[in-house]
């Protein structure tokens, strides 16, 4: 069964480790490839929303810092610098294909407050109407611990629910969810389909994300849980080959597909 056959609205989430090199500088080749695929999907009639990380990572690179600041104001300041750079690059790449983008910086409080949530929904709606592509990140410069989602995996699932997306694709630096840690266990197998996210599946997630990213596998699978419970098919796949997203639309296996739990 092709779970992407009728997808008309998709949220794609890309993480810092996919967008940047170890040096902290932007991986331009990757970004250009990703944007061309997103533009092509948009051209084919799918409403695309991109949830992007990388503000802090790119800010760290641009400011010439040796590592992510340990203090919150330091990370927030880096995010303000990196966010500009990110949007500048996205605007440049999306414009090459004739597409317009709009920036939405969201905090948890914006989603939890009914009026602000409605405003957001209206803005998304209008952007789709205008044929512009929403680019979302957490509003890192104002978000302190108590009010953040903290990782964009959760944010991507919340956004997918908010805009009633049909599918969520989380791009990361690994091919999907494995039966064991593939870095430590050679017999680890990619799990192509997850029908239900239960304790056994959660136990496969391990800890730790990469040095530049935030979440790791657990936040991705939890995001898949939030989305699939809302009837949204979710895929975790490798962001190093964004063109593999076409496989999903062709009904071919790619990454780990988490089946929707209900269909609205
Ligand atoms: N909002 C953070 C940033 O743009 C990223 C959070 C995450 O890595 O999930 O740097």
Query: Which amino acid residue places its CA nearest to atom 2 of ligand 1?
Result: 53
d(CA 190, CA 256): 7
- The predicted pLDDT at position 215 comes to 58
Q: What is the residue whose two structure tokens read 């990703």?
A: 34
Query: Which amino acid residue places its CA nearest to atom 8 of ligand 1?
Result: 214
User: Does any ligand 1 atom lie closer than 6 A to the CB of residue 17?
Assistant: no
11: three-class secondary structure by DSSP: strand
d(CA 105, CA 126): 16
User: Does any ligand 1 atom lie closer than 6 A to the CB of residue 140?
Assistant: yes
Q: Which of 13-27, 86-100, 231-245, 248-262 has the lowest mean pLDDT?
A: 13-27
Statement: residue 209 has pLDDT above 50: no
Closest ligand 1 atom to Cα of 209: 8
Q: What is the residue whose two structure tokens read 């957001």?
A: 120
Entry pTM? 0.94
48 bridge partner residues: 10
202 CA distance to ligand 1 middle (Å): 22
- The predicted pLDDT at position 210 comes to 47
Mean pLDDT of 28-57: 96
29: DSSP letter:
H
53 CA distance to ligand 1 middle (Å): 4
181 CA distance to ligand 1 middle (Å): 24
Statement: residue 124 has pLDDT above 80: yes
Residue 19 contacts residue 53 (beta carbons within 8 Å): yes
d(CA 68, CA 61): 9
- The predicted pLDDT at position 216 comes to 80
Residue 236 contacts residue 221 (beta carbons within 8 Å): yes
d(CA 70, CA 252): 42
Statement: residue 193 has pLDDT above 90: yes
Mean pLDDT of 241-246: 96
5 CA distance to ligand 1 middle (Å): 31
For a mutational test of ligand 1's pocket, the pick from 214, 216, 219, 222, i.e. the residue with the most ligand atoms closer than 8 A to its C-beta, is 214
263 CA distance to ligand 1 middle (Å): 30
Reported confidence tier of residue 211, pLDDT bands at 50, 70, 90 = very low
Q: How far is CA 203 from CA 146, 169, 176, 197, 242, in A?
A: 27, 21, 15, 10, 27
Mean pLDDT of 183-193: 89
110: three-class secondary structure by DSSP: helix
Q: How far is CA 191 from CA 134, 179, 211, 256, in A?
A: 31, 6, 25, 6
Reported confidence tier of residue 146, pLDDT bands at 50, 70, 90 = low
């Amino acid at each position: 069964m092709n779970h992407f056959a009728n997808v008309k609205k998709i949220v794609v989430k890309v993480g810092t480790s996919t967008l940047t090199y170890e040096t902290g500088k932007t991986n331009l080749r990757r970004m250009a490839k990703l944007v061309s695929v997103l533009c092509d999907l948009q051209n084919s009639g799918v409403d695309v929303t991109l949830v992007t990380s990388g503000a802090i990572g790119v800010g760290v690179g641009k400011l010439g810092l040796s590592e992510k600041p340990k203090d919150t104001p330091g990370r927030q300041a880096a995010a303000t610098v990196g966010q500009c750079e990110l949007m500048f690059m996205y605007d440049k790449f999306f414009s090459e294909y004739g597409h317009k983008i709009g920036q939405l910086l969201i905090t948890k409080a914006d989603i939890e407050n009914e009026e602000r949530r409605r405003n957001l929904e209206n803005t998304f709606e209008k952007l789709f109407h205008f044929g512009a592509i929403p680019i979302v990140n957490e509003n890192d410069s104002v978000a302190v611990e108590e009010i953040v989602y903290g990782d964009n995996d959760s944010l991507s699932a919340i956004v997918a629910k908010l805009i009633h997306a049909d599918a969520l694709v989380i791009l990361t630096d690994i091919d999907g969810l494995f039966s064991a840690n593939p870095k430590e266990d050679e017999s680890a197998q990619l799990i192509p389909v997850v029908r239900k996210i239960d304790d056994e599946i959660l136990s496969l997630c391990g800890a730790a994300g990469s040095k530049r990213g935030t979440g790791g596998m657990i936040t991705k699978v939890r995001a898949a849980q939030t989305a699939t419970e809302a009837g949204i098919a979710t895929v975790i796949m490798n962001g190093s080959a964004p063109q593999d997203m076409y496989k999903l639309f062709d009904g071919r296996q790619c990454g780990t597909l988490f089946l929707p739990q209900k269909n609205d």
